């Protein structure tokens, strides 16, 4: 069972399949590259912040930046994104404020989830960007449920769910694929196959040559795509979303990429991975490839990139100074918020009791 690896660009950024090249306006092409560059810069700075003890936890997306932006470009603002772990760049591309992102990382008083989530577990209701779940694969049935809800409501919205190669070994993945195919749920399953599920190599996950072919057993189409080619990712996602809107059901996309960094700031890949392995993927860097493409079209140059990087660094420094001056955490009483639309009597009692205890200990 063979799948063609779908590409638009070669490793040097030259168009090799013009029939697949999406018609993206020049300002949006620039925005795509800028988001990828910004995400890489943030990864560098925020991982350093974690090492300095300024934030508690972080993870990077080095080498995987195309997967954060290409699929999201192909969606409508009303479509839903169920993220996996490394998709902060997807939220930024949709309009997630950098200040809010930093507040969430610091778990400070303006953290939108009030310290109830790990850092880097972003959620933005206004952007239809659903909270990350650390439990592997649990976001997949949620995405299918949202897709089915849209269909039952008569809307042509689509849900896209990110997950890694390791999640394809979970029951949630298999149950979700089966239900989505049977019900023709307008869901795009986006598997970011980056070679490693923490310390478990892809070869230990499954014996099948591809993960894409798993879709065949569930009666849904699948695509194998170059995960470092942002244009190919936009192309295949646009086709999958259009198919879903026509009522033809889900699609599984396997994006071949590579996790060049550690799994998280708590991980040391040198104990399980050959250090030479990540270097082999540097020549396939998605940012360098897309930058070459834009330079060839006269839409980007080195001076523009230097100016953009300087602007990003200035904005970052100003926001960090502001965010670090905010109160360190949400007030304890906020634990009673967001549970019910109207707070019931027993939580009112607990709120009063907590307030009394806080006053007593403060005194």
What residues act catalytically? 259, 263, 272
Asked if 268 and 262 count as a contact pair (C-beta separation under 8 A), the reply is: yes
**Dist. CA 42–CA 277, nearest whole Å:** 24
Pairing of strands 196-197, 200-201: antiparallel
From the list 341, 359, 360, 338, the residue with the least C-alpha distance to 115 is 338
> Which residues contact residue 206 at a Cβ distance below 8 angstroms, ignoring those fewer than 6 apart?
168, 169, 214
What percent helix, strand, coil does the chain show, rounded to 5?
50, 10, 40
97: Cα within 13 Å, side-chain hemisphere: 11
Beta bridge partners of 67: none
Asked if 7 and 229 count as a contact pair (C-beta separation under 8 A), the reply is: yes
**Count of C-beta atoms within a 10 Å radius of residue 295:** 16
DSSP helix/strand/coil, 298: coil
Asked if 306 and 48 count as a contact pair (C-beta separation under 8 A), the reply is: no
**Dist. CA 192–CA 54, nearest whole Å:** 29
Q: Which two tokens stand for residue 117?
A: 């989530």
From the list 288, 354, 358, 332, the residue with the least C-alpha distance to 115 is 332
**Dist. CA 26–CA 297, nearest whole Å:** 9
From the list 49, 48, 143, the residue with the least C-alpha distance to 87 is 143
Q: Which residue has the tokens 């001076």?
A: 303
> Which residues contact residue 210 at a Cβ distance below 8 angstroms, ignoring those fewer than 6 apart?
1, 3, 224, 254
Q: Which residue has the tokens 């490793």?
A: 11
């Amino acid at each position: 069972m063979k799948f063609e690896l779908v590409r638009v660009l070669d490793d040097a950024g030259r168009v090799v399949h013009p029939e697949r090249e999406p018609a993206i306006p020049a300002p949006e092409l620039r925005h795509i590259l800028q988001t990828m560059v910004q995400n890489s810069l943030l990864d560098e700075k925020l991982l350093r912040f974690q090492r300095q003890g300024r934030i508690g936890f972080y993870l990077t997306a080095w080498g995987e930046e195309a997967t954060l932006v290409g699929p999201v470009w192909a969606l409508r603002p009303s479509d839903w994104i169920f993220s996996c772990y490394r998709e902060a760049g997807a939220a930024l591309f949709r309009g997630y404020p950098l200040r809010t992102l930093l507040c969430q990382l610091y778990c400070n008083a303006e953290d939108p989830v009030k310290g109830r989530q790990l850092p880097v577990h972003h959620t933005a209701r206004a952007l239809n960007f659903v909270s990350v779940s650390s439990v592997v694969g649990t976001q997949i049935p949620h995405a299918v449920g949202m897709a089915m809800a849209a269909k039952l409501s008569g809307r042509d919205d689509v849900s896209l769910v990110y997950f890694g190669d390791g999640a394809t070994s979970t029951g949630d993945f298999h149950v979700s694929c089966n239900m989505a195919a049977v019900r023709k749920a307008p869901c795009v399953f986006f598997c970011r196959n980056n070679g490693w599920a923490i310390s478990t190599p892809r070869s230990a996950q499954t014996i099948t040559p591809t993960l894409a072919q798993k879709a065949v057993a569930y009666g849904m189409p699948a695509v194998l795509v170059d995960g470092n080619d942002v244009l190919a990712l936009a192309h295949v996602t646009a086709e999958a979303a259009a198919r879903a809107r026509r009522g033809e059901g889900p699609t599984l996309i396997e994006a071949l990429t590579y996790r060049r960094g550690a799994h998280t700031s708590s991980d040391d890949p040198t104990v399980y991975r050959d250090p030479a392995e990540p270097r082999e993927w540097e020549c396939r860097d998605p940012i360098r490839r897309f930058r070459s493409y834009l330079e060839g079209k006269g839409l980007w140059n080195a001076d523009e990139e230097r100016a953009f990087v300087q602007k990003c660094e200035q904005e970052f420094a100003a926001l960090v100074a502001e965010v670090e001056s905010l109160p360190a955490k949400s007030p304890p009483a906020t634990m009673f918020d967001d549970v019910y639309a109207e707070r019931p009597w027993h939580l009112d009692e607990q709120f009063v009791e907590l307030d009394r205890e806080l006053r007593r200990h403060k005194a």
